């Protein structure tokens, strides 16, 4: 072993200790920046390669007739009806100021094998057209309400709908909707069929302009504007109208336990923020789990910063009326999880628990890439008796769950392998290599010093026993002055 090699090994060891992490971080930065030259990550960003699923659960109404008489609604969960979701970014334009604009298109395909039942299953849910319109027209003159009620009767629209899952989801032909679109165009959100997700298939989520991360990696994926807006106008305070965070698919790298996951959701009409819960592991990849804070849908009384989302009801409900054509719609966690428990008293058949109804995003903290995601939300309709509109009977005031959905996905297959190799194995190997170099450098130096020392104190030419060598090695590394020069000799003699 030459002296040059020893010096070189130590040099590289020390160098790698300091430079290694910088190289890895630099590599992460280079690989994550949104840039068509970054072929792998750019294509991953453009056409999200992991299968995403939307699972729908209906709250089938068991006692529609009794509800009309003022009794408590009884519901039974039906589903899941699972749709594979294809996400694709299009109209991608890079701007000179390190931002990029795009539209994201989504399409859905029914997955019979993952569903409980098929799209021809029949369920009963509130008729949003009738019950929604009733609440919206509550303050109009009585004569108008009578007229509206007559119209409902003409078109045979009742308070509840019993239809197939496919029709409720993707739309059904309604004579009333056709009539309204013909004589009062622009009043309804849809021009064709009427359904809960009628406008979702092959639609886009608006024009997003986000930062590419070039120049400042902390900004990567942050939304600069949505449909040209840098803030919303749905809510009462500037704070609530802010468009915060990313578009909800990726986050900046280098996360800590203090990091949060802010994102803007066009479907929820607001920015949301998840908080760190715990560390974990996904197929060998370390992760941080982020979940919804309890305050996410709290009302302004319970959590002052949410005052701008009011007028509010009980905590756990978000009034999304202003961004749903003024219909009395509310978003919550499924089964009113983390909401005021009093909500469970108004509807029978709800059983909230974190395992089934909490939402989470598992992130690889070093890169900000989601590994396992489950976003779950519930859509509710505020309904009650409205005089003049006889369809509403004697319905008691209630925030009625209609459906809840889960959007979920996790990375797997070749995507996971590539990710694992480049961002988990490689950095680990680099780390071992750097410690290997240091250890090698130190060992060679110590052996050299030992040999040198041995010659100086004229130890017997026999090599010391393992035990003695061990003692010597330990004290050398602590304080050379404390080393009993004769101990090795004595021990060696006693051993013989």
User: What is the contact surface with ligand NAG in residues (CB under 6 A)?
Assistant: 90-91, 95, 97, 99, 107-110, 118, 120, 170, 201-202, 209, 224-225, 239-240, 242, 244, 270-271, 273, 282, 299, 301-302, 305, 311-315, 319, 321-322, 328, 340, 372, 382, 410
Least Cβ distance, residue 471 to ligand NAG (angstroms): 49
The answer for residues whose C-beta is within 8 angstroms of residue 344's C-beta and 6 or more apart is 336, 350, 352
**CB of 202 or CB of 353, closer to ligand NAG:** 202
Taking the complex as a whole, the smallest distance from the CB of residue 148 to ligand NAG amounts, in Å, to: 19
The partner residues of 99 in beta bridges, in order of sequence, read 95, 211
In this complex, which beta carbon is closest to ligand NAG, that of residue 157 or of residue 167?
Answer: 167
Taken as a whole, the chain contains a residue count of: 496
For 22-41, letters b (16+ CB in 10 Å) and e give: eebeeebbebbbbbeeeeeb
Nearer to ligand NAG (CB atom), residue 10 or residue 223? 223
CB 472 within 8 A of CB 479: no
Please report how close the Cβ of residue 16 comes to ligand NAG at its closest, in angstroms.
34
95 vs 351 by CB, closer to ligand NAG: 95
Rounded to the nearest 10°, the torsion over CA 163, 166, 169, 172 is -60
Check: CB of residue 115 under 8 Å from CB of residue 81: yes
The packing angle between helices 426-457 and 466-478, to 10°, is: 100
Asked whether the CA dihedral 452, 457, 459, 465 is positive or negative, the reply is negative
To ligand NAG, the closest distance from the beta carbon of 113 in angstroms equals 12
Contacts of 408 (CB under 8 A, 6+ apart): 52, 53, 55, 373, 374, 375
CB of 80 to ligand NAG, least distance (A): 14
Give the integer Cα–Cα distance in Å for 67 and 349: 14
Least distance to ligand NAG, CB of residue 24, Å? 26
d(CA 160, CA 64): 7
Is residue 306 within 8 A of residue 241, CB to CB? The reply is no
Residue 6 or 270: the one with the smaller Cβ distance to ligand NAG is 270
For the bound state, the minimum distance from the C-beta of residue 377 to ligand NAG, rounded and expressed in Å, comes to: 16
Alpha helices in 160-309 (DSSP H): 165-170, 175-183
Shorter beta-carbon distance to ligand NAG: residue 246 or 319: 319
Return the number of the residue (242 or 415) whose C-beta is nearest ligand NAG: 242
Q: How far is the CB of 175 from ligand NAG (least distance, A)?
A: 22
Comparison of 242 and 476: residue with beta carbon closer to ligand NAG: 242
Smallest distance from ligand NAG to CB 393, Å? 19
The alpha-carbon radius of gyration of the chain (Å, integer) is: 32
The number of helices, as runs of H, and strands, as runs of E, in the chain is 13, 15
Both tokens of residue 199? 């406008």
Query: In the complex with ligand NAG, which residue's Cβ is closer, 365 or 441?
Result: 365
Best CA proximity match to 158, nearest among 135, 187, 129: 129
Most distant CA atoms of the chain, gap in Å: 116
């Amino acid at each position: 072993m030459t002296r040059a090699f020893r010096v070189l090994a130590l040099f590289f060891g020390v160098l790698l200790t300091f430079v290694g992490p910088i190289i890895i971080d630099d590599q992460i930065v280079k690989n994550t920046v949104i840039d068509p030259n970054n072929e792998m990550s750019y294509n991953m960003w453009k056409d999200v390669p992991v299968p995403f699923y939307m699972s729908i659960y209906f709250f089938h109404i068991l006692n529609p007739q009794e509800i009309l008489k003022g009794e408590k609604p009884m519901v039974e969960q039906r589903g899941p009806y699972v749709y594979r979701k294809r996400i694709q970014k299009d109209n991608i334009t890079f701007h000179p100021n390190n931002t990029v604009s795009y539209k994201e298109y989504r399409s859905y395909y029914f997955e019979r094998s993952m569903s409980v039942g098929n799209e021809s299953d029949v369920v009963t849910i509130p008729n949003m057209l009738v019950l929604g319109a009733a609440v919206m027209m509550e303050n109009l003159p009585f004569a108008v309400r009578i007229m509206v009620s007559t119209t409902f009767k003409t078109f045979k629209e009742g308070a509840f709908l019993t239809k197939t899952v496919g029709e409720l989801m993707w739309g059904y032909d309604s004579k009333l909707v056709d009539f309204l679109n013909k004589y009062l165009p622009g009043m309804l959100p849809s021009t064709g069929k009427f359904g809960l997700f009628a406008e979702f298939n092959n639609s886009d989520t608006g024009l997003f302009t986000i930062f590419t991360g070039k120049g400042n990696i902390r900004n990567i994926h942050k939304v600069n504007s949505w449909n040209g807006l840098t803030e919303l106008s749905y809510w009462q305070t500037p704070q609530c109208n802010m468009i915060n965070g990313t578009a909800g698919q990726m986050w900046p790298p280098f996360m800590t336990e203090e990091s949060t996951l802010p994102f803007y959701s066009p479907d929820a009409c607001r920015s949301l923020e998840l908080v760190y819960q715990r560390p974990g592991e996904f197929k060998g990849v370390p992760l941080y789990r982020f979940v919804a804070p309890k305050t996410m849908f709290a009302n302004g009384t319970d959590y002052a910063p949410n005052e701008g989302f009011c007028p509010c009801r009980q905590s756990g409900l978000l009034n999304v009326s202003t961004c749903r054509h003024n219909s009395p719609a509310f978003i919550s966690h499924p089964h009113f999880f983390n909401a005021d428990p009093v909500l469970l008293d108004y509807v029978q058949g709800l059983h909230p628990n974190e395992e089934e109804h909490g939402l989470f995003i598992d992130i690889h903290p070093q890169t900000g890439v989601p590994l396992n995601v489950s976003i779950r939300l519930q859509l509710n309709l505020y309904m009650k008796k409205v005089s003049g509109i006889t369809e509403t009977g004697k319905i008691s005031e209630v925030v009625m769950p209609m459906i809840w959905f889960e959007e979920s996905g996790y990375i797997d297959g070749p995507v996971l392998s590539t990710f694992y190799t480049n961002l988990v194995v490689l950095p680990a190997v680099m780390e071992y290599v750097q410690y290997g170099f240091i250890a090698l450098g130190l060992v060679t130096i110590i052996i050299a010093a030992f040999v040198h020392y041995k010659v100086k104190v004229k130890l017997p030419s026999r090599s010391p026993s393992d035990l003695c060598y061990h003692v010597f090695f330990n004290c050398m590394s602590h304080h050379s002055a404390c080393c009993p020069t004769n101990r090795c000799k004595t021990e060696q003699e006693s051993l013989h």
